[in-house]
Protein backbone atom coordinates (compact mmCIF):
# COMPACT_ATOMS: atom_id res chain seq x y z
CA UNK A 1 0.00 0.00 0.00
CA UNK A 2 1.16 3.51 -0.84
CA UNK A 3 1.61 6.06 1.86
CA UNK A 4 0.86 9.71 1.13
CA UNK A 5 3.76 12.16 1.07
CA UNK A 6 1.98 14.59 3.32
CA UNK A 7 -0.09 14.44 6.43
CA UNK A 8 -3.50 16.05 6.21
CA UNK A 9 -3.76 16.65 9.92
CA UNK A 10 -0.48 18.50 10.33
CA UNK A 11 0.19 21.60 8.23
CA UNK A 12 3.47 21.47 6.36
CA UNK A 13 3.66 25.20 5.71
CA UNK A 14 4.12 27.85 8.35
CA UNK A 15 1.40 30.49 8.66
CA UNK A 16 2.29 33.79 6.98
CA UNK A 17 3.97 36.30 9.26
CA UNK A 18 1.70 39.01 10.63
CA UNK A 19 1.37 42.05 8.38
CA UNK A 20 3.38 45.10 9.48
CA UNK A 21 0.28 47.22 8.73
CA UNK A 22 -2.18 47.27 11.64
CA UNK A 23 -5.78 46.32 10.99
CA UNK A 24 -7.22 49.69 12.03
CA UNK A 25 -6.35 53.13 13.35
CA UNK A 26 -4.52 56.21 12.17
CA UNK A 27 -1.21 54.36 11.83
CA UNK A 28 -2.79 52.15 9.17
CA UNK A 29 -4.03 55.22 7.27
CA UNK A 30 -0.59 56.84 7.33
CA UNK A 31 1.17 53.65 6.18
CA UNK A 32 -1.34 53.09 3.37
CA UNK A 33 -0.98 56.72 2.33
CA UNK A 34 2.80 56.42 2.17
CA UNK A 35 2.58 53.23 0.11
CA UNK A 36 0.35 54.83 -2.58
CA UNK A 37 2.28 56.97 -5.11
CA UNK A 38 -0.84 58.40 -6.76
CA UNK A 39 -2.24 59.58 -3.48
CA UNK A 40 1.10 61.13 -2.60
CA UNK A 41 1.22 62.96 -5.94
CA UNK A 42 -2.33 64.23 -5.47
CA UNK A 43 -1.45 65.49 -2.00
CA UNK A 44 1.64 67.22 -3.35
CA UNK A 45 -0.41 68.94 -6.07
CA UNK A 46 -2.97 70.12 -3.49
CA UNK A 47 -0.26 71.43 -1.17
CA UNK A 48 1.44 73.32 -4.01
CA UNK A 49 -1.90 74.78 -5.13
CA UNK A 50 -2.72 75.95 -1.61
CA UNK A 51 0.77 77.45 -1.28
CA UNK A 52 0.26 79.41 -4.53
CA UNK A 53 -3.10 80.70 -3.25
CA UNK A 54 -1.57 81.65 0.10
CA UNK A 55 1.29 83.50 -1.62
CA UNK A 56 -1.12 85.40 -3.87
CA UNK A 57 -3.30 86.28 -0.89
CA UNK A 58 -0.25 87.59 0.98
CA UNK A 59 0.80 89.59 -2.08
CA UNK A 60 -2.63 91.22 -2.49
CA UNK A 61 -3.39 91.82 1.19
CA UNK A 62 0.05 92.84 2.49
CA UNK A 63 2.37 93.86 -0.34
CA UNK A 64 -0.10 95.64 -2.63
CA UNK A 65 -2.58 96.76 0.03
CA UNK A 66 -1.94 100.48 -0.44
CA UNK A 67 -2.42 100.32 -4.22
CA UNK A 68 -5.74 98.45 -3.92
CA UNK A 69 -6.94 100.79 -1.19
CA UNK A 70 -6.33 103.77 -3.48
CA UNK A 71 -8.21 102.02 -6.28
CA UNK A 72 -11.17 101.43 -3.95
CA UNK A 73 -11.18 105.08 -2.82
CA UNK A 74 -11.28 106.25 -6.44
CA UNK A 75 -14.23 104.01 -7.22
CA UNK A 76 -16.21 104.90 -4.13
CA UNK A 77 -16.82 108.59 -4.83
CA UNK A 78 -17.57 109.54 -8.39
CA UNK A 79 -19.54 112.44 -9.87
CA UNK A 80 -22.10 111.20 -12.37
CA UNK A 81 -23.97 113.70 -14.50
CA UNK A 82 -27.25 112.50 -15.93
CA UNK A 83 -28.72 114.80 -18.56
CA UNK A 84 -32.48 115.06 -18.57
CA UNK A 85 -33.43 116.18 -22.08
CA UNK A 86 -37.13 116.68 -21.50
CA UNK A 87 -39.42 119.39 -22.59
CA UNK A 88 -42.76 120.70 -21.50
CA UNK A 89 -45.64 118.30 -22.08
CA UNK A 90 -48.64 119.96 -23.71
CA UNK A 91 -52.28 118.91 -23.95
CA UNK A 92 -54.14 118.72 -27.26
CA UNK A 93 -55.35 122.26 -26.94
CA UNK A 94 -51.79 123.58 -26.34
CA UNK A 95 -51.97 124.19 -22.61
CA UNK A 96 -48.94 122.91 -20.70
CA UNK A 97 -49.65 119.83 -18.59
CA UNK A 98 -46.19 119.37 -17.06
CA UNK A 99 -43.35 121.79 -16.64
CA UNK A 100 -39.77 120.95 -15.79
CA UNK A 101 -38.57 122.25 -12.45
CA UNK A 102 -34.92 121.72 -11.58
CA UNK A 103 -34.35 119.73 -8.42
CA UNK A 104 -31.22 118.81 -6.54
CA UNK A 105 -30.39 115.98 -4.18
CA UNK A 106 -27.82 116.03 -1.39
CA UNK A 107 -26.48 112.74 -0.06
CA UNK A 108 -24.43 112.42 3.11
CA UNK A 109 -22.17 109.38 3.36
CA UNK A 110 -21.44 108.74 7.05
CA UNK A 111 -18.08 107.08 6.31
CA UNK A 112 -16.81 110.31 4.73
CA UNK A 113 -17.76 112.52 7.68
CA UNK A 114 -15.04 113.51 10.17
CA UNK A 115 -14.27 111.07 13.01
CA UNK A 116 -14.45 113.69 15.76
CA UNK A 117 -17.98 114.25 17.09
CA UNK A 118 -17.62 118.05 17.25
CA UNK A 119 -16.29 118.30 13.70
CA UNK A 120 -19.05 115.99 12.47
CA UNK A 121 -21.74 118.07 14.19
CA UNK A 122 -20.23 121.27 12.78
CA UNK A 123 -20.21 119.87 9.23
CA UNK A 124 -23.82 118.74 9.51
CA UNK A 125 -24.92 122.14 10.89
CA UNK A 126 -23.19 123.97 7.99
CA UNK A 127 -24.91 121.64 5.52
CA UNK A 128 -28.29 122.27 7.19
CA UNK A 129 -27.71 126.02 6.99
CA UNK A 130 -26.85 125.81 3.27
CA UNK A 131 -29.97 123.77 2.57
CA UNK A 132 -32.20 125.98 4.68
CA UNK A 133 -33.15 123.16 7.02
CA UNK A 134 -33.56 123.55 10.79
The pLDDT of residue 61 is 94
User: How far apart, in Å, are the Cα atoms of 60 and each of 19, 57, 70, 76, 117?
Assistant: 51, 5, 13, 19, 34
The pLDDT of residue 116 is 92
pLDDT, mean of residues 83-89: 78
β-strands 96-98, 89-90 pairing: antiparallel
- What's the mean per-residue pLDDT of the chain? 84
| Contact assessment for residue 97 and residue 90, using Cβ atoms and an 8 Å cutoff | yes
Dihedral angle at the C-alpha atoms of 87, 93, 94, 99, nearest 10 degrees? -50
17-30 pLDDT, tens digit each: 766 777 788 888 88
32-74 pLDDT, tens digit each: 877 888 888 888 999 999 999 999 999 999 999 999 998 888 8
Neighbours of 127 (CB within 10 A): 13
What percent of the chain has pLDDT above 90? 33
**1 pLDDT above the threshold of 60:** no
Residues sharing a CB contact under 8 Å with residue 20, sequence separation 6 or more, in sequence order: 31
Q: What is the pTM of this model?
A: 0.39
120-130 pLDDT, tens digit each: 999 999 999 99
Place 12 in a pLDDT band, splitting at 50, 70 and 90. low
Domain boundaries, the chain: 26-73
Side-chain-side CA neighbours of 33 within 13 Å: the count stands at 10
Amino acid sequence: MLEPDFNILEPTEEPPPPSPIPQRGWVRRVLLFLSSPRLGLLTLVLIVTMAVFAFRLYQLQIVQAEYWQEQAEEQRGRLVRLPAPRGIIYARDGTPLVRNVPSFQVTVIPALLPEDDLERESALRRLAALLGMP
